[in-house]
A = this chain, B = another copy of it.
Amino acid sequence: MTNITGDQALVKRINTSIILDTIRQQAPVSRAKVSKLTGLNKATVSNLVQELCNNHLVQEIGPGQSSGGRKPQLLLFNGQAGYAVGVELRVKQMTAVLTDLEGRILAEDDTALEEHDVQTVTSLMVGMIHGLMRQAPPSPYGIIGIGIGVPGMVDEDGTVLFAPNLGWEMVPLQLQLENELGLPVTIDNEANAGAQGELRFGAGQDARHLLYISAGSGIGSGIIINGELYKGARGYAGESGHMSIEADGRECTCGNRGCWELYASEKSYDNKNGILPSKNTSELVHHAELGHQETIRHFEELGRYLGVGITNLVNGFNPQSVIIGGPLSDARPWIEETLQQVVAQRTLPYHRELMEIRFSELGSRSTMIGAAYSAISQFLGPVRVSMPTN
């Protein structure tokens, strides 16, 4: 219960954060306009912008158009003040990006994964990270941190509690990587990182409450509430794939029955032995492109089940938008129609208003970019003040 107390340093952090956010979102923008947008005094803005410039986080790029008086000096957020590395650990592959502070990708790398023992994976990972770090241009802050997205549950300390597809249990990944790299490391669940990626740099940039559905070998969800990732009491929120949509349906390995991901993820391929020509989504997409009827029918059914689960989440959460990502989003042409139909039919009318279902804009990169953003976010240190109205 150690609350943050108020003092002048906190005030300064809050206002600096507000100003930096405003410049990031409205750039290019003048001090005067920042003052009007934020309600902060012109002098306050001038002083804090001065400091941000000294810290290389903001740059003046010269005068803009006059609107009947002195020309404004335009400000930009300096996305090149430092760089971050974002990694996505998948079952058969590991991918990573080098990004600037605005999430722009400068370099990319990937490698196949055959073994999953912790030692092999982490040393491979450290190698990739070092490789990307070397490609970062010179900058005031250099590499500011590393973010990792993993297919499993992660607790607050960055320990991977359980990642069934990797066979991992209780792996203190953050601690280990921080020791080896000497840099701040953040570990996130794959869907949570993806949600962050789409929220900040993809399809969800205007949403306060957002649901990201990552459909692949299972289904995970990332829940954004009030512009921030909701992690739950112990960090395990978002295991929506194990929501039962058939109370007495098939048994799932998790102990539940009729889990959503048995019907609406790649796990659904397992029941179609002999009917489907493959158990691999990209191969199936290829078959669908060639007009293979059974495959197309299966994707449509999968879209219907996706819609059933999304309806449940929308009715409970009332998000502003739902973003669908993960490998299965490649099958969009065949799943989208039934999905949208089911949601339109089944969702409560008031929830449907102003709610949008979109597909990922960052595609297969959303998790990496979101992981990088976790590191960036920690570096920039956001502060928010809320005055609940209830």
User: Which of A75-83, A277-285, A316-324 is found at the contact surface with chain B?
Assistant: A316-324
By the criterion CB–CB under 8 Å, are A305 and B247 in contact?
yes
**What residues of chain B lie closer than 8 Å to A348, measured between beta carbons?**
236, 239, 242, 254-256
Which residues of chain B are near A40, meaning CB under 8 Å? 5
Docked Cα-Cα span, A162 to B349, in Å, equals 10
Query: Is the CB–CB distance between B388 and A228 below 8 Å?
Result: yes
- CB neighbours (8 Å) of A188 from chain B are 390
Chain B min CB distance to A385 (Å): 5
Q: Does A117 sit at the interface, judged by CB under 8 A?
A: no
Q: Number of A residues contacting the other chain (C-beta, 8 Å)? A: 90
Contact with B along A252-283 (1 / 0, CB 8 A): 00111100000100000000000000000000
Return the contact of A316 from the options B243, B254, B347 (Cβ within 8 A): B243
Contact of A312 among B7, B236, B243 (CB under 8 A): B243
> For chain A residues 152-176, which have a beta carbon within 8 Å of chain B?
153, 156, 161-162
Taking a contact as CB atoms under 8 Å apart, the answer to whether B14 and A320 are in contact is no
**Is A363's CB within 8 Å of the partner chain B?**
no
Known contacts A6-B10, A232-B318, A354-B233; is-contact A246 B247 (Cβ 8 Å): yes
When the two chains form their complex, are residues B390 and A315 in contact, meaning their CB atoms are under 8 A apart?
Answer: no
Interfacial chain B residues near A247, Cβ < 8 Å: 245-246, 263, 305, 308
A272, B257: Cα distance in complex, Å: 25
- Checking B244, B255, B308, B316 against A237 with a beta-carbon cut-off of 8 angstroms, the contacting residue is B316
Contact partner of A317 (CB less than 8 A), chosen from B4, B39, B237, B350, is B237
Please state the number of chain copies in the assembly: 2
B388 touches A377 (CB 8 A): yes
- The answer for the CA separation of A245 and B260 in the assembled complex, in Å, is 10
- Chain A contacts with B in 328-352, Cβ cutoff 8 A: 345-351
Q: Is A67 interfacial (CB 8 A cutoff)?
A: no
Instruction: Verify if A353 is at the interface (C-beta below 8 Å from B).
Output: yes
A230 on the B face (CB < 8 A)? yes
| Interface residue? A118 (CB, 8 A) | no
Contact with B along A216-235 (1 / 0, CB 8 A): 00000101010011111111
Cβ contacts under 8 Å, A255 to chain B = 345-349
A14: which B residues are within 8 A, CB to CB? 5-6, 10, 385
User: Apart from A238-B318, A382-B387, what are 11 other A-B pairs with CB-CB below 8 Å?
Assistant: A3-B385, A4-B385, A5-B38, A5-B40, A7-B11, A225-B230, A233-B354, A237-B316, A247-B305, A377-B390, A384-B385
A-B contacts, 13 listed (Cβ < 8 Å): A4-B385, A5-B15, A5-B40, A7-B11, A188-B390, A228-B390, A236-B348, A236-B351, A240-B316, A243-B312, A245-B245, A245-B247, A378-B389
